[in-house]
Chain A
Amino acid sequence: MHINIPVRLFNLHTVNEKTLEKLKILAGAAKYDVSCASSGTTRGNSRSQLGTTSGWGICHSFTSDGRCVSLLKILLTNHCIYDCAYCANRRSNDVKRTAFTADELAQLTIEFYRRNYIEGLFLSSGVMRNPDYTMEQMLRVVKTLREVYRFNGYIHMKSIPSASRELVVKAGMYADRMSVNLEIPSEANLKLLAPEKDFESVFAPMRYIQQGMLESAEDRKKFRHAPSFVPAGQSTQMIIGATNDTDRQILTLASALYKRPSFKRVYYSGYIPVNTNDSRLPVLATPPLVRENRLYQADWLMRFYDFKADEIVDDTHPDLDLDVDPKLGWALRHPEFFPVDVNEAPYEIILRVPGIGVKSAKLIVASRKFGRLSSSQLKKMGVVMKRAQYFIVCRELSMQTVNELTPQYVRRKVTQKQTKAAADLLQYSIDWGE
């Protein structure tokens, strides 16, 4: 079949300068919210709607800082009655203020979506008049999208701190994911930096979301077609390095959140000063990206490797080691746990070996019943032998393990190799103190 795309004359549409200007301001103000995930729910489509969601989430682009672009992440407005020290939109800042109309934003989302730029919308907002008024305006956007444009793609909606239960519950009927940002990991520091907020103003909407989800799950047991409520769960974000809170506080808080059934993700965002001249905030030459990265690794260990927060950080080690990843750090503090025999040990034990990830651990357990595995086979399965070699025995005679070589020696060996990789990734000259 041959398709000819006919050539017709037309006038180039003049760019609507106002929309462009708003987009710049309101996307620029939303960019520090790190969560971009469009994951957590799979929804097919009926012919009458536009859009689907796919369980793993799709990144449609990556910005020059290497971050995933999945959703149109934007503020409804950057007007704000609050005055949080770490935020560019705070009322005491002299910045240009603007707001989208519900239809403008809905249409923009649809047009981006149709071109495969995005998975959906991530809607946040500064606080206009009061939290509930703001929530109502945000609700109009998502309602327009779902009901007027029949949009069935992904919607992540922020709940405004202190919003009422009624409005959070309403929003939950339209959103795939909701989030309330904790921002500051301890209440004292939160109050210091965001005088209008406290933990309760954040935890209350989190509770409403959770209750809504649990009730909806109950309903759907009874009625198969009962509407789903925030099917992709909730998430939150903490800013790292704006306060003196330790990694132990951060991870303990995160692990408590993960215990709630509705919690899917905690995001960590290295502090980037947007307001200068605020004595409550530290002056940082560069954002603490290595620390942020280590926190994500620790978070990963808690979610997929069955590590407890207090195994990763404790009283004697309240902060993560920046030189080694937290899994290796744990292994070096616990040489008595090793060596692990990959041909015998249960899956959970194999997962604890530095250099073995979930994928290779599964391959090992599936394959070893066909014969004892050798180190070259392990390598092919994706095991990073440069690290794993100090912690395992396989078909060959036991190599020199962390016990014979001492943790100090292994640490030196492994960090030499790691320094380069980590520095490459982050593109910073990091002083590793060697």
Chain B
Amino acid sequence: MTLFIYDHTFDGILSCIFYAYEHKTFPDAILSDADQRPLFIDEWHHIETDEKKSQRVWTALERKLSKSAQNMVLLVWLSELPETEMLLFGYFRKIIDHQHGFEMNFGDSDVLRVKEIARKVNGEAEKIRQFVRFQKTKDGIFFAPISAQYNVLALVAPHFRSRYPDQPWIIYDIARNFGLYYDTHSLQEVTFSLQDLKSFKSRKLENEKLSETEIYYQNLWKEYFETIAIKERFNPKLQRQHMPKRFWKYLTEMQ
């Protein structure tokens, strides 16, 4: 089997494409250094990521892909699924080898899979927009821990930024140990120390870190949430279907 080793970047995948067409050799698997190697390797190629080459590939793809298909490709990349590399590689090849418009051939399994994964990643971003719960800290920062299935933090940041222009916030992805901090002017990446992270694992900030009114509003919200349920329509299954259990630990109203 033929193996490509790359640097686990999006530019890297595009460089793989360039290399493959240049050397007329196509991989059976694309892995990064950190990945475990399969047992039977006939040949392997180390692909240098070269921005000029990847840019040329992207320009070629841009010509053949609609804006929404380009966006889907980026969403697939953010999925971080194990199949990502080979799926994108296969997809790009098909797009390059076929006429403009192949992205609409949903009878093709790669085209359909790209759409499916893009939908899932978008869905996860939407869930984060729905279920983020900010807690106001003593120093006025609104803090929300999340644990996202896909790497969607960058996708949701613009939404919160334009929604709360005057409100400093941190959304922290505990699963990936990084967060975004908006200081009312710009966004920056933040990483907490292990010790801080441990305290967030309990999902809730300790009371002494919260603003004076935080608990008060949390209680009002919980009370509201309890009150509006209609007992004659009790349907916890439907509730779980819309609001999967994995989010509950971050939801104020479910504590």
Contact = CB atoms under 8 A, between A and B. Distances in A.
Interface in B154-170: 159-160, 162-167, 170
Contacts of A15: 215-216, 219-220
Interface string A64-96: 111111001100000000000000000000000
Contact of A66 (B109, B126, B208, B233): B233
Given A66-B233, A67-B233, A50 B164 contact: yes
Given A13-B216, A286-B232, A63 B225 contact: yes
Contact of A3 (B112, B142, B181, B233): B181
Contact of B133 (A32, A63, A115): A115
Contacts of B130: 58-61
A108 B242 contact: no
Interface string B103-123: 011111100100000000000
Contact of B139 (A6, A111, A117, A368): A6
Contact of A68 (B112, B160, B242, B253): B242
Given A52-B163, A425-B237, A2 B193 contact: yes
A27 interface: yes
Contact of A272 (B139, B170, B229, B230): B230
Contacts of A23: 220, 223-224, 227
Nearest to B112: A380
Nearest to A70: B130
A203 interface: no
A9 interface: yes
B209 interface: yes
A54 B235 contact: no
Most buried by A among B102, B107, B108: B107
A28 B230 CA distance: 9
A114 interface: yes
Nearest to B132: A116
Interface residues of B, number: 75
A241 interface: no
Interface stretch (A229-237, A297-305, A370-378): A370-378
Given A12-B207, A115-B142, A27 B224 contact: yes
Contacts of A65: 229-231, 233-235, 238-239
B131 interface: yes
B237 A50 contact: no
Contacts of A11: 212
B91 to A, nearest CB: 15
A20 interface: yes
Nearest to A424: B237
Given A12-B212, A65-B234, 8 more contacts: A2-B192, A10-B138, A24-B227, A28-B228, A65-B238, A108-B220, A111-B217, A367-B104
Q: Nearest 8 CB-CB pairs, A to B? A: A66-B238, A65-B233, A63-B229, A370-B105, A367-B106, A66-B235, A366-B104, A31-B228
